[in-house]
Copies of this chain bind each other. A is one copy, B any other.
Amino acid sequence: MLSMRQIKDRSEEDTFLALDIGGTNVTCGLVSRVGEVLSTDIFPTRDGRTPDALISLIINRLKVLWATADQTHRPSALAIGAPGWIKPLEGIVVTAPNIEGWVDVPITKIMSQALELPARLENDANLYALGEWLAGAGKGSDNEITLTLGTGVGAGLILGGQLWNGSFTSAAEIGHIPLGPAHTAPCGCGRLGCLETMASARGMARLAREWLEAGRKTKFRGSPTELNTEVMTKLAERGDPMSLDVFQRAGTALGQVLAGVFNLLSLERAVLGGGASGAFKYIRKAIVEYLSVHLVTAKIDEIQIVKGTLGINAPLVGAAALLNAGGF
């Protein structure tokens, strides 16, 4: 067992490498043992044209990040956040619907050998949730969920102050919770009516395209391919009926799923993070409206729906938390 003095020494000297593989971007980071983000490198996931090319690219970028960092501190481990269905204990990405061609990728072994570092794999949204819980908007709450609104909709669940993985280390797959028979839009996973079809960046862009195709009133003047949550957030601020409707419908779908989550688990907080969280104030309004009606495990003012504060740093901070907890 380390003494407090030894821990302090190690925290000053040690660093971790952190890797977050998202559907849109890959984020590499060098973080201190206590979760300070020392340097980052971000690039589009599609820069790796094939699964193998993406892995080679990630290895090179991590090596560069490491090489340009302070040379006196050798990183002691790597934490990998990956989307989709993963097996953390075996270090395998089983399927990642939002990354083309990733099936049964032994990512931990590959990275560990290439970088000559011990490595650990966790679901990307779980890392994000760990980060927000330790140092962000989830701090101080031991029973909470953090949602990541990005290419897909991910989540990480903190129960009793610990990350919850469940029987198959596959928990918090909130993006593929079905919304019921009124929802029939196809999801990237091949199913119909998953939460992602309404509340992911892709789902919200689809809702907006349908609005345009129906010839309804909007302040948007561009091509449908330019529609994204950033554009719609700016339009919503100008009162655009299309963008406001899309965020209302996305928030209502999130509210429906969160009503189930809160009523099942008697949680006290939900944190909303991820790339689409710029639209937080619009989406939150619809979520709270829905929960005000359907929450039965607490009064609406006893729970919190809050915006994540760490942004793209969240999974990097979470990486430090994961590796510390793992004894690296």
Q: Which of A236-280 contact B (CB under 8 A)?
A: 256-257, 259-261, 263-268
Given that A177-B259, A180-B181, A181-B182 are known contacts, is A171 also in contact with B268, CB under 8 Å in the complex?
A: no
Distance, CA A179 to CA B182, complexed state (A):
10
Contacts of A298 in B (CB 8 A): 167-168, 170
Instruction: Judge whether A311 is part of the interface by a CB distance below 8 angstroms.
Output: no
Distance, CA A179 to CA B265, complexed state (A):
17
Q: Which of A65-101 contact B (CB under 8 A)?
A: 85
Contacts of A183 in B (CB 8 A): 180
Contacts of A143 in B (CB 8 A): 166-167
Q: Taking the full assembly, how many copies of this chain does it contain?
A: 2
Distance, CA A189 to CA B293, complexed state (A):
11
Distance, CA A174 to CA B181, complexed state (A):
18
Please give me the residue from chain B that is nearest to A162 by CB atom.
B160
Please give me the residue from chain B that is nearest to A255 by CB atom.
B178
- B264 and A157 within 8 A (CB): yes
Question: Which residue of the partner chain, among B155, B264, B267, contacts A172 with CB atoms under 8 Å?
Answer: B264
- B294 and A178 within 8 A (CB): yes
Please give me the residue from chain B that is nearest to A178 by CB atom.
B294
Contacts of A181 in B (CB 8 A): 180, 182
Digit string of A33-59 for contact with B (CB within 8 Å is 1, else 0)?
Answer: 000000000000000000000000000
- Apart from the given pairs A85-B297, A260-B260, 5 other A-B contacts in the complex at a CB distance below 8 Å: A143-B167, A167-B267, A176-B263, A180-B183, A191-B294
Query: 20 interchain pairs (CB within 8 A)?
Result: A166-B266, A166-B267, A167-B266, A167-B267, A167-B268, A168-B298, A174-B263, A174-B264, A176-B263, A176-B294, A177-B263, A178-B256, A178-B259, A178-B260, A178-B294, A180-B181, A189-B296, A260-B260, A260-B264, A264-B265
Chain A positions within 8 Å of B, measured between CB atoms, are 85, 142-143, 155, 157, 159, 164-174, 176-183, 189, 191, 256-257, 259-261, 263-268, 293-294, 296-298, 302
